[in-house]
Structure 1
Amino acid sequence: MEVLVLTTAPGGRSVLPALDLLDHTVRATAPSVSAFLDAGRCDVVLVDGRRQPRAALELVALVATAARGTPVVFVADETCLAGLPRGLGVTQLVLSDAGPAEVDARLRLARRRSVDPRHGSEHPVVVRVGPFELDPYAYTIRLQHRPLPLTHREFELLGALLAEAGRPLSRERLLGLVDGGGDGTSPRAVDCHIRAIRAKLGAHRSSIRTVRGLGYLVAAG
C-alpha cells in the first residue's frame, strides 16, 4: 500500500512508528494541498495532527476535497482529542501510539471505504456555498453552474475560502493551507491572487470580502 504522510516531521514513519513494522511504502511531504497534489498517486493519506490538531483538521477537510476519493486518515495524540470538532472529512482516525495490527487494519478499512468514481461508486459530495459549487471529483469551482477559469493557485485559494466559509482566513493561514508556507512566498502575494480571482467573478466579486486586520472571507450560505 502506498502511504503518503503530510507532516513537517523528518520522515513519515516517525508520525506513526508502527509503520516501521508494516510492509507499506511510506513517503512524506509538506502539510499542504499543493504538496499533496504534487506528490502523485497514493492509496492512503495520513495527516499529522499531533502538534497542531485544529490546523491539521482544517487541512484534512481541504485534502479530502482535493483527494478525489483517496481516503484521508488523521493521526492524533490521545491528549489532543478532547474538544476537537467532528465531521471534517476524516475517513479514519488513528492514535500515534497505536500498534502495528491496529494501524494496518485502519489503513485497510479506510481504503475499502474510499470513494472511486471510476468504478461506479457515488461521487464525493459537492461543496455548495452561495452561488459557488466546489466539485472535488472534477477539480473545478463553478459559479452559477459555470466553471471558473482558475489557475492552480487560484483554485487552491478560493477552495480554501469555500471550505472555511464564514470564517476569515489570514494571508499567512491561506498560504499555510495551500502550500505549507514553506516555499518563501510572501503573504502579500495572496493579495495579487485574490485580485485575479475577484476579476474572474464579475458581478460576484464581492463574494470574497476583505476583513480588516484578519484577512479574507467568503460568507457562508
Structure 2
Amino acid sequence: MHESRHILVVEDELDLAELLRYNLNVSGHNAEVVHSGQAALEAVAARKPDLIILDVMLPEIDGIEVAKRIKATTETADVPIIFLTAKSSDEDQIRGLDAGGDDYVTKPFSVKVLLARVVAALRRSAKGSADSEILELGSVRLDTDRHEAMVDGSSIRLTLTEFRLLATLMAGPGRVLSRRGLISNAIGPGITVTERTIDVHIAAIRKKLGEHGSMIQTVRGVGYRIVDPEG
C-alpha cells in the first residue's frame, strides 16, 4: 500500500471533478476538489498539496496563470502539476510546460491512464528530491536541489522543463541524446510531448545561455548533445 498523498483537483466540470475525486480516493489518495483558479490558489496557500491536477480553462483565473503563480512561490515551486485540457496543439502543450507543468493530458482521457500519470509524477518528484546535485560545465552551473541555474556567475531563469532538459544534457557531456530520449529522461516516459516541442525548448535554452548557447549542439537526424567548451 503506497503512502496517501494530498492531491488538489482543479476542475470546473462538476461531474468530471467528482469522478476524479472518487477514483483518487479509491486509489488511496486524499483528494481535494475546487472549481476555479482563485479557489485553487487559496487551497494551495492553506495547505501545500503533493500534486495538482489542473484544468486549463477555468473561471476567474485560467490554469496557465494559476500554475505560473504556484511555481513563482518558493514554498510551492516543487509541487508537480498535471494539466487537463481539451486543447492538444503543440503550442498549447508548450504553454503548459513553460508554465511549469509536469504532464499534459488531453480530454477525453482514460481515468486509469491519468492515475498512472499521477503515480509517475509523484515518483519523479520524490526521485528529484533524493537525487539533488550540482552540475557544472564551462560557465554553466545547475543546482538541482534549489532549482537554480547560473551562467558566468549570474542567475538565469529557466522553466521547469528547460531546467530538466539542460540538466539531462549536462549529466552526460558529449553524449548524444535523441529527442525521444530527452523526453523520456527529462520529462518522463509515456508523456505526450512532440519532438518539435523539444526543439522549441532547446532553442529557448540556447537563447538564455547567451554566448554559451553553442555548447548545445544539434546532431542532425539524431538529437542533441552538450559539449565542454574547455574540453
TM range (shorter): 0.3 to 0.5
The structure with more helix, counted as a fraction of residues: 2
TM-score by length of structure 1 reads 0.46
Highest relative contact order (Cα 8 Å, sep 6+), 1 or 2?
1
